[in-house]
Amino acid sequence: MPSIRLQGSDGEIFEVDVELAKQSVTIKAMLEDLVMDDEGDDDPIPLTNVNVAILKKVTQWCTHHKDDPPPPEDDENKEKQTDDITVWDQEFLKVGQRTLFELILAANYLDIEGLLNVTCKTVASMIKEKTEEIHKTFTVESDFTEEEEAQMRKEKLV
């Protein structure tokens, strides 16, 4: 199986099977731009936005999902669910918040639709029904002024 070499943001080189790597639309496009020479030692593809630790996780996901059928066309009328994450994916994503967000950033940069969907669904299910505690769960600082906060509480839209 031919493989390609990827260089993470930390400089480290990581080798991965070509077919797996092509799950990333970004890498696939890069490969089409470069001329692939089977014999020669190619320069590794630089991925400035992803470190190797996350690359390894991403590869792990792609390996498990390599035989997945392509995702269906995005149907606006189809109800979006968060409860259809497979058990394997749930286990895979039992990681710290930071890693979860790094996976989102990587999936976004590398353009891997399936991984982006499942990581975002996971975050969405963490938001679900948190109401007041979204601040705490995600340690987000509120940047509203006191007046603005008071105004919002008064409105109470829903």
Partner 1 sequence: MAAVEAETAPLTLESLPTDPLLLILSFVDYRDLISCGYVSRRLSQLSTHDPLWRRHCKKYWLISEEEKSRKNQCWKSLFIDTYSDVGRYIDHYAAIKKAWDDLKKYLEPRCPRMVLSLKDGAREEDLDAVEAQIGCKLPDDYRCSYRIHNGQKLVVPGLLGSMALSNHYRSEDLLDVDTAAGGFQQRQGLKYCLPLTFCIHTGLSQYIAVEAAEGRNKNEVFYQCPDQMARNPAAIDMFIIGATFTDWFTSYVNNVVSGGFPIIRDQIFRYIHDPECVATTGDITVSVSTSFLPELSSVHPPHYFFTYRIRIEMSRDALPEKACQLDSRYWRITNAKGDVEEVQGPGVVGEFPIISPGRIYEYTSCTTFSTTSGYMEGYYTFHFLYFKDKVFNVAIPRFHMACPTFRVSIARLEMGPDEYEEMEEEAEEEEENDDSADMDESDESDEDENESDEGQGEERQRRVFDVPIRRRRCSRLF
Mark the segment that binds partner 1 (CB under 8 A) among 19-27, 37-45, 59-67, 103-111.
Answer: 103-111
Closer of 66 and 135 to partner 1 (Cβ): 135
Contacting residue, 14, 102, 110, 112, with partner 1 by CB under 8 A: 102
| CB hemisphere CA count around 121 (13 angstroms) | 16
Q: Quick one: which segment of 14-22, 29-37, 62-70, 75-83 binds partner 1 (CB under 8 A)? A: 75-83
Q: Please state the separation of Cα 96 from the chain's center in Å.
A: 14
Question: Binding mask 125-144 vs partner 1 (x if CB under 8 A, - otherwise)?
Answer: x-xxxxxx-xx--xxxxxxx
Q: Are 103 and 58 in contact (CB under 8 A)?
A: yes
Selected range binding partner 1 among 21-29, 54-62, 71-79, 86-94, rule: CB under 8 A: 71-79
Residues in Cβ contact with 64 at an 8 Å cutoff, skipping those fewer than 6 apart: 88, 92
Q: Convert residues 1-20 into a mask of x (bound to partner 1 by CB under 8 A) and - (unbound).
A: --------xx----------
Only one of the segments 20-28, 37-45, 59-67, 123-131 lies at the binding site for partner 1 (rule: CB under 8 A); that segment is 123-131
**Which strand ranges, in their side-by-side order, compose the sheet holding 45-46?**
13-17, 3-7, 45-46
- What is the C-alpha to C-alpha distance for residues 73 and 67, in angstroms, rounded to an integer? 18
The letter for the amino acid at 50 is V
C-alpha 139/C-alpha 127 separation (Å) is 12
- Please report whether residue 85 would count as binding partner 1 according to CB under 8 A: no
Report the distance separating Cα 58 and Cα 118, nearest Å: 12
Residues that bind partner 1 (CB under 8 A): 9-10, 48, 51, 76-77, 79-82, 98, 101-102, 104-105, 107-108, 116-117, 120-121, 123-125, 127-132, 134-135, 138-144, 149, 152, 157-158
